[in-house]
Structure 1
Amino acid sequence: MSRKLPVILTAEEQQLLLDQFTTRYPTQERNRVMIKLILDTGLRRAEAINLRWNDINLMSGKLKVVQGKGAKDRILWVQEETLEELKHWKERQVDELTKREAVNKYNLVFTTLTGNKLNPNNFYKVVNGYSQKAGIVKEVSPHTLRHTFATDLYRETKNIRLVQKALGHEDLSTTMIYTHIVDDELEEAMKGFRKDK
């Protein structure tokens, strides 16, 4: 039974999406950092929304996903550039909440400016709306970012087990979809290979 291949973003589309945010506005900085973190780690939308500051080591980049789907914890690593953006966001979040005399009572990484938990549907609208603003004609959702991470990681490592571990998939067959995306790209490339010769 063939499964529909997930929508993924090219490197150019990822950059285009990130470039849409005007980070002088705190909510736009938060949304940009959140999108970048998902593109870099493959977090699920719920995992990003529920991520706590004490689950990230801002020195080493070690990120612990606590009780992800299937109640399994997993360890991921955040790259340097994204870590710097997270540190900046943390300072700004504290400033914004202090200004409003609000409290981040759950110690969440991403909150509203009044310290409350983000609404998953609103985050979907942010990702989809800014993708359209960027001129990306695909249907883009938070899960598209996760698919993009998985495909990029597989392209880079050619190791499907690593991708499975990063995504927290119980069953390898769930992860195998990403090998098909890369196989399709290879087929396209090879069909066009030496055409001009």
Structure 2
Amino acid sequence: MGKRKIPEFLTSEEQKQLVNVFNIRYFNSYRNKVMIQLFLNTGLRLSEMINLKWKDINLTTGQLKVVQGKGGKDRIVWIGEDILEILREYRIKQADKLDICEYVFVTNTKKQLDDRGIRRMIDTYATKAGITKSISPHTLRHTYATDLLRATKNIRLVQKALGHSDLSTTMIYTHIVDDEYEDALKNFRR
């Protein structure tokens, strides 16, 4: 098997730039900002984000159930208090504007968003934020995975969070962290 290409991911600085580029006076812009924050905090796939329903998020405990992810498997991810607070506020604003919605992210007519529109939106805002890398929803997933592996040093935990059935799929992230490890050791006491 050939070496898999290491995926593009955002630095913490780029993540801040991207999140801060939205003008949240406008509801759709606010919705998109929340979506990007949720991508960065859960590593959901694009299809999983589009299909995410309010009933699958426990806004008290932070348990988020990914229903029928890739391969038809459900999985649980946990989200922290900061993003939970953002989601609670967003849900109130969404209900004020659109009434009660089944899906977390919808159009102004309460329809599910389409994947091309989300891809375009992420690309547009990344450019506005001055990020020169090519950014897609999958880049945000890679960013989550890389940050999670850095923080936990636990590849099995990352595998579970991403919903990978095969650990070899998750192993691409070890290259990123290994390269940083190598650089750190090479530059130690220089």
The TM-score with structure 1 as length reference comes to 0.92
Which residue in 2 is equivalent to 1:173? 168
Q: Which runs of 5+ in 2 are unaligned?
A: none
Residues of 1 paired with 2:120 and 2:45: CA distance?
Answer: 15
Which residue in 2 is equivalent to 1:190? 185
Which residue in 1 is equivalent to 2:68? 67
Residues of 2 paired with 1:59 and 1:88: CA distance?
Answer: 13
Matched, 1:12 2:13: yes
Which residue in 2 is equivalent to 1:161? 156
C-alpha deviation, 1:86, in angstroms? 0.8
Residues of 2 paired with 1:155 and 1:20: CA distance?
Answer: 26
Q: Which runs of 5+ in 1 are unaligned?
A: none
Runs (4+) off by over 4 Å: none
- 1:133 pairs, out of 117, 128, 133, with 128
% of aligned pairs identical? 58
Residues of 1 paired with 2:127 and 2:179: CA distance?
Answer: 25
- 1:124 pairs, out of 108, 119, 125, with 119
Which residue in 2 is equivalent to 1:83? 84
Q: What letter corresponds to residue 21 of structure 1 in structure 2? A: F
CA offset digits 1:24-76 (Å, max 9, x no partner): 11111111111111101110011011000000001111100011000110011
CA offset digits 1:99-152 (Å, max 9, x no partner): xxxx74xx0000011101101111011111111111111111000000000010
C-alpha deviation, 1:2, in angstroms? 1.2
Which residue in 2 is equivalent to 1:34? 35
What's the Cα RMSD here? 1.2
C-alpha deviation, 1:89, in angstroms? 1.1
Q: What letter corresponds to residue 88 of structure 2 in structure 1? A: K
Residues of 1 paired with 2:31 and 2:112: CA distance?
Answer: 13
What is the total number of aligned residue pairs between the two structures? 189
Secondary structure of 2:65 counterpart: strand
Residues of 2 paired with 1:74 and 1:50: CA distance?
Answer: 14
Q: What letter corresponds to residue 36 of structure 1 in structure 2? A: Q
C-alpha deviation, 1:189, in angstroms? 3.1
- C-alpha contact 1:93 1:113 (8 A) present in aligned 2: no
